[in-house]
Amino acid sequence: MSRRPVVHQFTAVLADRDALGHHTLLVDDILREMGVDSSVYAAHVNPEVRTRGRDFRLHADDPAPDLIIYQASTGTPVADYVLTRPEPIVVNYHNMTPASFFDAWEPAISAELDHGRRQLARLAKKASHGIADSDYNARELREVGYENVSVSPVLFAPLWLERDRQPNRDASGSGSTADLVVDSVAPSPARAVTLLFVGRLSPNKCQQDLVGVLAGVRALGVDARLVLVGGVSSAGFVSAVESVALELGVSDSLVLAGSVSESELVGWYESADVFVSVSEHEGFCVPVVEAMGFGLPVVAFGSSAVAETLAGAGVVLAEKSVSVVASAVVRVLSDSVVREGLVARGRRRAEELGGVASSARIREVLQPLLNGASGT
């Protein structure tokens, strides 16, 4: 009887509230379904997923795997360790924010990201294969020397489908626990329109520009509020965003929701009217897909991989001045034909990226790598 192939995944941080953690755990699930003896190792394993991962420092004492999959997203000692391993290595690249975004705000993060890109280039010499979330990420891998690169979208749990499966929902889709959670946290003023962005408060995501857009939308006669959901990458940056809101006179209409639970996140998606992104760097942008899945029209600055992820299912802007983004938001809010068209296209796109197709694609990419590693 042949032995089950053994695969060890490595990542910097294993957490349940981040896209990389979700992806790593879903890949772990898929590998097990494929008959693989799969384990996850990380430098930091958050308590809520401690049963799913081990400290990578213990790896040297464990039986050697047939294949290593390294989930690359930042600079980490984990990559240095992976470099010293003799087993075949596959790098699953989720992009790294260019360090220049953090230079002025968080030099330590900037150095970490620079280090991560150097590690990525070193891994190119040793890795047998690269997997990228998007064509944008694939181009970056090839630029640093990866020869065999496949594209497979990042895996995530489609929250909108989970929501649809909830019991006790009425036909309009309201009445969920999530609605109650959000209403209790930050009730919307009567008739106010909610602009939503989900993502860490981070210089590359440019939430300050969204504050400008909020002021612009209000100047165009729309009673609006801006909700920013996500943890904090730079406290100084958050403080600056709040100061800009104060100076523009819209601080009362800005909601910083912070890092939220899954049910709260669902609530924010359900209570919003439009998803707006002016981020200057995204390797894929899961929240855009989630927004489309929840039936939100998306207005986004078409930087990095954003346009590729949207694929025409949202308003993709070539510039992000206040007047252009605010005009786009107002157009989407005011023109029901445009809005319904975007929502319909968005749902189809979310189905493509968040459904079974992405799981099938990662299986398709992994199978020959497993065959090669186990010699079958």
Q: List residues binding other proteins (CB under 8 A).
A: 60, 80-81, 83-86, 103-105, 122, 125-126, 203, 208, 211-212, 215-216, 219-222, 236, 239-240, 243-244, 247-248, 310-319, 321-324, 326-328, 330-331, 333-338, 340-341, 345
Rounded to the nearest 5 degrees, what angle is found at the Cα of 263, between the Cα atoms of 253 and 176?
Answer: 90
Give the number of other CB atoms < 10 A from CB of residue 357. 11
Task: Tell the smallest beta-carbon distance from residue 320 to other proteins (Å).
Answer: 11
Backbone angles phi, psi at 321, to 5 degrees: -65, 155
Contact between residue 78 and residue 9 where contact means Cβ atoms under 8 Å apart = no
Task: Tell the smallest beta-carbon distance from residue 367 to other proteins (Å).
Answer: 25
Residue 15 or 317: which CB sits closer to other proteins? 317
CA distances from 151 to 60, 135, 348 (A): 30, 6, 20
Residue 72 or 366: which CB sits closer to other proteins? 72
Q: Show Cβ contacts of residue 155 under 8 Å, excluding neighbours closer than 6 positions.
A: 22, 23, 26, 27, 30, 358, 359, 362
Residue 43 or 220: which CB sits closer to other proteins? 220
Residue 31 or 123: which CB sits closer to other proteins? 123
Task: Tell the smallest beta-carbon distance from residue 48 to other proteins (Å).
Answer: 32
Dig out the tokens for 217 from the structure. Answer: 């939308």
Residue 296 or 313: which CB sits closer to other proteins? 313
With both helix axes pointing from N to C terminus, report the angle between 336-354 and 356-374 in degrees, rounded to the nearest 10: 20
Task: Tell the smallest beta-carbon distance from residue 162 to other proteins (Å).
Answer: 26
- Residue among 30, 52, 140, 57 at smallest CA distance from 91: 140
Rounded to the nearest 5 degrees, what angle is found at the Cα of 90, between the Cα atoms of 86 and 91?
Answer: 120
Q: Show Cβ contacts of residue 250 under 8 Å, excluding neighbours closer than 6 positions.
A: 211, 214, 215, 218, 226
Task: Tell the smallest beta-carbon distance from residue 314 to other proteins (Å).
Answer: 7
Residue 139 or 348: which CB sits closer to other proteins? 348
Task: Tell the smallest beta-carbon distance from residue 43 to other proteins (Å).
Answer: 15
Task: Tell the smallest beta-carbon distance from residue 150 to other proteins (Å).
Answer: 21
Residue 84 or 168: which CB sits closer to other proteins? 84
DSSP state of 264: H
